[in-house]
């Protein structure tokens, strides 16, 4: 069935370091792909999305490219800030409204 | 309100008790979703409403779980005879509408953390 596998955490980085959080998916077809972020004490928020192969989603300095050939949607940011500390979830939506989420990757950025 | 709200934020129940979790979606949002998030896991889909109609309940783990949205706005997730494995965060999300498969962003509430002793 459809599923998402993302890099396990926790991840700890120094401020201004480069971030990559890996995400791969299994799906029969062509899903839409998403990254959600959950800041401490808050609900999940959409960070970025891509709806077809080779699309690049971007927001707040984060980017992810929908790679059909490698079934991946890795999240990257060139220079992280302390305020980026959160849990990041990769997700796919195939048919209908149902989302499939990864297990989440906790990121802590230290000054 | 500005976002999706859920109540209570925390609930402790003894095994065998019934619980009711409430979700207030964003005003005007037609679609409403419930998810279960176990510790250290991502959210897992439970059920979906469009207005008052429950269109998909394939994710409900057992017949002890029941959801309703009688007037197409507020929704309640009820769990009967709670078990320890029901301990999780229950998330509610709402979106405008899905028409012909077009995607509308889901806005999530902060969740209700249920602990069953």
What is the percentage of chain B residues whose pLDDT exceeds 70?
93
Closest by Cβ to B42, choosing from A45, A46, A102? A102
Per-residue pLDDT at A106 exceeds 90 = yes
**Residue B91 to residue A44, Cβ atoms within 8 A:** yes
Q: Is the pLDDT of residue B46 over 80?
A: yes
Among the partner-chain residues B31, B105, B110, the one whose CB lies closest to the CB of A46 is B105
Among chain B residues, the shortest Cα distance to A5 is held by B42
Maximum separation of any 2 CA atoms in chain B, in Å: 44
Residue-wise pLDDT for A15-47, tens only, equals 999 999 999 999 877 888 999 999 988 889 999
Residue B45 corresponds to which tokens in the numbers above? 């889909």
What is the total residue count of chain A? Answer: 111
Question: Do B56 and B47 meet the contact criterion of CB atoms below 8 Å apart?
Answer: yes
- A93·B48 Cβ contact <8 A: no
Identify the sign of the CA torsion B82, B106, A106, A74: positive
Query: What is the reported pLDDT for A31?
Result: 87
Chain A residues with beta carbon closer than 8 angstroms to that of B25: none
């Amino acid at each position: 069935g459809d599923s998402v596998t993302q890099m396990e955490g926790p991840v700890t980085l120094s401020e201004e370091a480069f971030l990559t959080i890996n995400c791969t998916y299994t799906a029969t077809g062509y899903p839409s792909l998403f990254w959600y972020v959950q800041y401490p004490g808050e609900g999940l928020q959409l960070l970025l999305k891509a709806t077809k192969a080779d699309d690049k989603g971007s927001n707040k300095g984060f980017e992810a490219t929908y790679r059909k050939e490698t079934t991946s949607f890795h999240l990257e940011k060139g220079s992280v800030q302390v305020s980026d500390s959160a849990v990041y979830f990769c997700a796919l939506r195939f048919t209908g409204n149902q989302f499939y989420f990864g297990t989440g990757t906790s990121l802590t950025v230290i000054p | 309100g500005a976002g999706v709200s859920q109540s209570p934020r925390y609930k402790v129940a003894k095994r065998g008790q019934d619980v009711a979790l409430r979700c207030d979606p964003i005003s005007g949002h037609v679609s409403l979703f419930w998810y279960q998030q176990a510790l250290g896991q991502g959210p897992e889909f439970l059920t979906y409403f469009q207005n008052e109609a429950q269109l998909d309940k394939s994710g409900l783990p057992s017949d002890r779980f029941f959801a309703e949205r009688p007037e197409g706005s507020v929704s309640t997730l009820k769990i009967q005879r709670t078990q320890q494995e029901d301990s999780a965060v229950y998330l509610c999300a709402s979106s405008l509408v899905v028409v012909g498969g077009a995607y509308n962003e889901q806005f999530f509430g902060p969740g209700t953390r249920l602990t069953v002793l």
